[in-house]
Structure 1
């Protein structure tokens, strides 16, 4: 391969990588895992699992099943939003922690979308 072609390929490759990494934390999907045996100093009994569909990264955030919507919001703020930005869409089941008026209003004010899935997936 001639030197000119290598340079062209290298530039286009570097440009595409830069372009792809410009898209931060796209759509998020969360899964609540409950019914765990309480453990650790804080006796957490639930995990909130966050999946970023763009980077395929997974974060497991321990918390208490009894936590309020505000506690859940602070958990997301401190661990996801403050480090990665506000996701375009949060896809969630119909768990009361995410279907409350608080979440609907918050996402409405941010101009983002809160997508709720059905109980049974096809």
Structure 2
């Protein structure tokens, strides 16, 4: 590279204050179109439903109560129930002083993934 071309390039450099539109993108105002009110209402209030891919369906499981054979705690039992459907894990609230007959009455809604053949139910003492 000759010294003349370097000198020419240095003269072309902008020195001083940059113009106000330097590195600014000009975006048209009409870029986004608003949703009609009916579509907004449908999306907000659950008109459109989401179903994850690779699912066979949806199951609703009600965990009503349990009749345990014996008291596994030293003083009192605070049992809760854990349910596993595929990789999803659901738990009931802990039934304080539930003893051998805790009552939960909780309904769990879960998607049943393809390939899942078993649902696991476990009861724990907190």
Shared fold, TM over 0.5: no
Q: Which has the higher contact order (CA 8 A, sep 6+)?
A: 2
More strand by share: 2
Higher helix share: 1
